[in-house]
Structures are given as C-alpha cells and as structure tokens.
Structure 1
C-alpha cells in the first residue's frame, strides 16, 4: 500500500490567528509547499492538490496547474497529482488540459499523475456558465477519451456536443510513453464501477471507515478486470482520503484532533459541494456543526475511521485499509487549523516510522503500469 498527502487549501477565517485574509491565504499556500518538500524526503510517494473555484474558506487552490510545477521544481522523487483537473470544457478547454498534462510530464520527468473530475459544486459550475449540473456528466464522457488521441495524433480534430476543434497538432506530447496515469474522483457505487470500466484509478473522498468503503472497493476491483481503458493502459488503483495525525504521544494526538476544526471544514464542504448528499445531522449553512468532542474523536478512532495516534496506532488502523484492498491512502493534515509545525512533525514521523512498514516497493505502482504498457507497445 502506498501513501500520499492531499493538499486542499483550507483557509478559514482567522487561520493561525491572522486577521488579514490575504496573509492567511499566503501562509497556507507556503505551508502546503513545505509539506510537499518534506514528504519527498520522508518516503511519501504522492502529493495531490485540488482544483476549486469561488469556495471561500473551504479551498483557495484554484490554479493548481501553477502550484504543481512549483512543487515539482522543489522535489525529486514524489509524484505530483491533480486532484483534480476539472475537464468540463466551459471550465478548462480539453486541448489546454492536454497541453498542461504533457508539459507537467516533461518538467517533472514523468512524475505527474492526471486526476480528473467535473466539479462538485453549483457555485463553481454556474460561475462558468454551466446551469445544469447533470450536463457535467455528459461533458466528462465526451472529453475523457479525447486525451489519448490528442497525445498520440499529429492531426487531431473533433466535432462534439460540448467542444470542437479543427485539425491541430496538440503540443507537447507526453515525455514518458505512453502518457501519465489517469484518475477520476469518485464517491458512489456507480462512479466506482464506471471508473473501473474506463480503466481509471479512483480518488475517493469518502468519510467513512474501511468497513464502509469495502463494498465500493470490491465493485471497482471486480469491474476493472473487464476494463476498456480510455487511455492506453489500465490504472488499477483505489486511493482513499483519511483523517490523520501521527505523534509520539497518542493522547496528545487525540487532543489535537479535538482542536482540528474538522467539523467546520465539513460544514463548509456541505455548504458548497451540493452535488454530495447531505448526511443526517449536518445543518444548512450558515449553521455549522459544533466542534468535535473527545468522545466523538475516540469513537472515530476506535472505528478505524481516523488514522490517529502514535506510529503503532496508525499502523494498526492502516492494516484495515490494506485488508479491504486499498492501494493508496491519502492524508490531509492541512485540512485543519493545526499549526504548520504540528503538521511537519506528523508528516515526518509517519513517513519515517509507518510508511516503511507498509510500502517496501521503491517503484510507484502507477510507474509500473506505465512501464509495462510501454514495453507491451514496443
């Protein structure tokens, strides 16, 4: 099982006691970059960063195509993933996406992971003129198979419902053949199965326990055996985001979870991401969930829904994800109000003491799929 950090750009009011929103935004961005550089030195294999627009406080990372090469220039081994690039044509023209992906592949020497999605908020979609959220499903289906052609053909053209292009050579072409690994964000059984049939890796943002996730992983792993990939190869991967804090003192880690600001983050999630079903007990904005109590934190940890505690505790929790077939677990310590130094301590300790117990393969799983596809085509 492999491990990645997830960078979301959570910038709540008064972050780290800063009254100036612009200063808080700036400090958060710099913190995310520093954590990526640290992860690169401490056995983490992936660093993912989101793309969101207009979602005040929840996520201030909109131009991740700028952030990704900035981090790429400061790292050597870690793979850098778009979690996601929004590929709906009103938000990002597909040819521009294909160009960015190939350029990132060159500049990172093959370390870029192409995560895709269609946006999960009418705030975002309507901001770019998409009035019907259901249209984004058709947009995604029209676009996702075109990247393979853009990266391989010198005379590419397309006439579709949502975008069209006269004959053009989309440049550059990917550096490491055939092309970067392809992923899609998913959260429900239908999307897991669809992703598998398309041969796409899954970026899963579920908030449940491994037991809750197990049926979705099973659906994916069953369906991917008969994949008809939209790319040149199958990326058989399930990556799931989990709450996370690894410290030498397990009681201190649990106490910090009470002060994480996670419930405010969840309230913002359901304020904006209105294509997600609202769970019972989550109030409508501007009402927010109350801060988590220590009892609630302890219960979530006991249910293995959070990877929290000392290295031994974290390892035990992760064995549950391993048992259900997860290929990658993503940790998002910056989706909290914790001080930067605490995140540094946790990322470093986890990378040095936990990851080596679960990931002994020096090669990235996605690199192996890509390498084998290139060999088969030669």
Structure 2
C-alpha cells in the first residue's frame, strides 16, 4: 500500500497575500512529505472557486515540487479534460513535459470539472463533459503510444495538413508506453466507468469506510468481468486510490476539532459553489463546536435524503459525505487504526487530505511528520514481514 497527499490550495479568507502564501506552504509540505517517506503528492485543478481551491495551474505547482524532490511521484490529477479547459493534445504535451522534468515520476488523472461556475468561466458545455473526458483519455494514450499519430473520433478529427509531416507530441514521456492514467470518481457509477476504461480510480472518501469498501468491491468486480472493448489504452492501470482526511497530533481532542473545523470549511465551500449556498464559508468558526455542528449536519442531510429532498444517490452515505467526520482525526493510533481498515478493504493508495482551508501550516507539518515517523513505518514493517 502506498501513501500520498493531495493539495487543493484552500484559503479561508482569501487575499492576494494569503493566496501566495498557500502555494509556498503547500510546496513546503510536499517537499517535507518526500523526506517523511510518502510515495506521492497529487494536485487538483479548479478554476475560479475562491476559498475552495486556488489550484488553477497545478502543472506549475507540480513542476516546482518535482524540481525540489527526487523520489516522490507527481500526481497531476485530476486534470479537467473537457476540451475548453484543456485541449487533449495540450494535456499530452504538458503532462509528458512534467514526466520528463520529474525524471519519470508522473501519474495523470482526468476529471470533468465539478461546477457550473468553472464551466461558465471556460465556456464548457456541461452536457458534453463526460464524452469529452473519455475521448481525451483515448487521444492522450494514443498520442503517447506512437511517435506519429492522427485521430478520428466521435468528437474530434486530428490530422496533419496535406503534404506535411504527421502529428507528433513533443516531448515524449519517459515512462513507456505512457504514465499511469486515472479518473476522478466521486460516485459509484464513475468508479465502474474507471474500471471499464482500464484506468485507476481516484475516489472521494468522505462518506466513510463502508462507502470505500462498497466502491472498492464494485471496482474490483468490474475489473474482473470487463470485456475490454472500452479500454482507453492497451496498458491498464487498476489502482484503487482512496481519499483519507487526516489530522494527527499528540492531543486527540485537539486534532479531532481541527479536523472537523477543516472539513466543515471544505464541505461548506464546495457546497457554496456546487449547490449554490448563500455565502462562502470563512475561518470564523474557530471558537465553535465544529464536531457537534458536523454531526448534526450529517444527520440532517441523511434525513433529507430519506425524505427524497436530495439527489437519490446509490449510497445514502453520499448525501452526508462532506459532513461525515469519522476519519483519521486524532493520534497516531487513530490514523493507524483507520488505515488498517483501508488496508483490509484492499485500497492500493491512501490519499491523505491535510491541507484544508482552516488548518494552520504548523498542524499540517506536524501531521505529515506523525505519518512519516509512525503511521507509514507501521505499514512498511507489515509489508516487510509478509515479504
């Protein structure tokens, strides 16, 4: 099992100064993660979602991290792949360039882009995003697998002008035939789609361990039964990556409160953009009982789901996922127990979410250190014993 971190670049009360600082803080965390034994770091892509995510050009953040590290894998994911966000051949070029700069350490994930706000900013047609993401993955893998290529798909035709040299992506990635591909999967149907396409699943883990187990079962069963006609490449990547929100400190109560407060900001900020809340959240909840607030909110959302007032997801737990705080918030022992359950489920990579908008930098660094000195070595020792 591998251990990674993910960065949203969240800011509770944004100013240009705080925006700059969160980038440098995140770089510091990523470099420290390599020192502490983490296997990878991932950076999302969002556009115009103030508070929730200021990571609008993750390839620049990741290139900076790559230059300051030597071992840790660089997760470019998930890239918004509808064509108006990022044209497929441009994704292939930039990702290959990042693979070269990192000396072959790139993972590449795809996403549809989660909000109407982002779609409006980039003139994206929300009704086309699923089809465009799938065709983009096919184009990228095809462009990487051959020196010269042309493409004739359902949505795009790409070929050189008459009499000219064939199309070619430069540079070529170091990893051959191409870096591992993933798909951001926030709901069970997307998890199944990941398996059909032969790409890794980056799953939303806020709904809790039972939800992770359910989605893992769906993914593995589909991998075992797929017929292969939907694969986007002749090289498959069947890795199941699960989000793990975590704050780890010597004081379990303090860690739980900081985690609950951070996740409240996370949930309320994406709720503002995705569901149309009245106003964005702030960092002003520091003196509130955020644990009680989150528990009550999760119960309220579950009840609303039961009354049919929310989208009827295939899992009830998804309705209250943003407000479920039963994660790795606590001591080292809390984190080890939580990851033990993820290991039992069969998760291939644990994706630690630490940088939430209200979590101080010193707490992020302390959590990374706790994982690096205690949690990760615990599971490395288990792997060594099994070997």
The C-alpha deviation readout for 1:239-268, integer Å capped at 9, x for no partner, is 11122011122233224335x342132111
CA contact (8 A) 1:149 1:156 kept: yes
Q: Does 2:45 match 1:45? A: no
- Cα distance 1:361–1:315, how it changes in 2: closer, same or farther (>3 A)? closer
What is the aligned counterpart of 1:293 among 290, 293, 305? 290
CA contact (8 A) 2:52 2:357 kept: no
Tell me, in whole angstroms, the C-alpha distance in 2 between the residues paired with 1:68 and 1:150. Answer: 22
The answer for the alignment partner of 1:213 in structure 2 is 212
Q: Unaligned 5+ residue runs, structure 1?
A: 15-20, 275-282, 364-378
Q: Does 2:23 match 1:10? A: no
Tell me, in whole angstroms, the C-alpha distance in 1 between the residues paired with 2:382 and 2:168. Answer: 38
Provide the alpha-carbon RMSD of the alignment.
2.4
1:62, distance to aligned residue in structure 2 (A): 0.5
The C-alpha deviation readout for 1:290-325, integer Å capped at 9, x for no partner, is 76534467999xx98310221112101211111212
Tell me, in whole angstroms, the C-alpha distance in 1 between the residues paired with 2:37 and 2:18. Answer: 29
1:212, distance to aligned residue in structure 2 (A): 2.1
Q: 3-state SS of the aligned residue for 1:77?
A: coil
Q: Unaligned 5+ residue runs, structure 2?
A: 161-166, 299-323
Matches within 5 A, 1:182-193: 182-193=181-192
Q: Does 2:313 match 1:313? A: no
Q: TM-score, normalised by structure 1?
A: 0.85
1:362, distance to aligned residue in structure 2 (A): 9.6
Q: Does 2:155 match 1:153? A: no
- Cα distance 1:122–1:50, how it changes in 2: closer, same or farther (>3 A)? same
Tell me, in whole angstroms, the C-alpha distance in 2 between the residues paired with 1:48 and 1:287. Answer: 25
1:359, distance to aligned residue in structure 2 (A): 3.5
- Cα distance 1:232–1:174, how it changes in 2: closer, same or farther (>3 A)? farther
The answer for the alignment partner of 1:236 in structure 2 is 238
The answer for the alignment partner of 1:369 in structure 2 is none
Q: Does 2:115 match 1:116? A: no
The answer for the alignment partner of 2:52 in structure 1 is 58
Matches within 5 A, 1:193-272: 193-227=192-226, 228=228, 229-258=231-260, 260-272=261-273
Q: 3-state SS of the aligned residue for 2:184?
A: strand
| Length, aligned pairs only | 345
CA contact (8 A) 2:272 2:280 kept: no
Q: Does 2:66 match 1:103? A: no
CA contact (8 A) 1:245 1:333 kept: yes
Tell me, in whole angstroms, the C-alpha distance in 1 between the residues paired with 2:23 and 2:68. Answer: 14
Q: TM-score, normalised by structure 2?
A: 0.83
CA contact (8 A) 2:51 2:280 kept: no
CA contact (8 A) 2:191 2:215 kept: yes
Tell me, in whole angstroms, the C-alpha distance in 2 between the residues paired with 1:158 and 1:295. Answer: 54
